[in-house]
């Protein structure tokens, strides 16, 4: 008997590999903190937030794979329960980094909408997963 479903196993594998990208982001944040790369205080704050959200949400996404296997969800609800949190990890961190990109930026640009899309993905993923667990 397999411990994880094929969906959980493949998604978890991708999420574990994505930690390499989170590490790369951490090196970038370290360069900012050590003043090796010019940045405004706004950019530094958004870089820290983007890096933190990526790490936390990738970890939560790994846990969600195990929990999704414990539900009886199928179809779109199952896909949202399994993929919403990992998608949020991508969108939210990208939103923080992309909306603060550029020289001397002191407020978010229009790409802040990517962050809000991540908020929606997180809400849908957590919501469907929670309901799926409560009704299993």
- Which domain CATH number covers 131? 1.20.120
| Mean per-residue pLDDT, 72-76 | 97
| Cα→Cα distances 34→6, 27, 30, 97, Å | 43, 10, 6, 18
Q: Is the pLDDT of residue 82 over 90?
A: yes
Residue 1 falls inside a structural domain: no
Average pLDDT over residues 43-71: 97
* Plot region of 128 (φ>0 → left; ψ -120 to 50 → alpha; else → beta): alpha
Q: Which domain, by its residues, includes 25?
A: 6-135
Total domains in the fold of the chain = 1
- C-alpha 59/C-alpha 89 separation (Å) is 9
Kindly report, residue by residue over 1-53, the tens digit of the pLDDT.
Answer: 689 999 999 999 999 999 999 999 999 999 999 999 999 999 999 999 999 99
CA distance 57 to 135: 24
Residue 1 has a pLDDT of 60
- The span from the CA of 5 to the CA of 132, in Å, is 16
- pTM for the whole structure: 0.93
């Amino acid at each position: 008997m397999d411990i994880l479903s094929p969906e959980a196993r493949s998604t978890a594998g991708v999420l574990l590999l994505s930690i390499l990208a989170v590490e790369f982001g951490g090196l970038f944040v370290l360069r900012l903190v050590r003043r090796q790369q010019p940045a405004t205080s706004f950019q530094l704050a958004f870089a820290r937030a983007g890096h933190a959200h990526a790490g936390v949400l990738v970890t939560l996404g790994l846990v969600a794979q195990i929990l999704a296997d414990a539900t009886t969800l199928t179809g779109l609800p199952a896909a949202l329960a399994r993929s919403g949190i990992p998608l949020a990890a991508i969108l939210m961190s990208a939103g923080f980094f992309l909306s603060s990109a550029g020289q001397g930026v002191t407020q978010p640009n229009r790409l802040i909408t990517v962050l809000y899309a991540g908020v929606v993905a997180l809400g849908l993923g957590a919501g469907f997963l929670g309901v799926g667990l409560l009704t299993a």
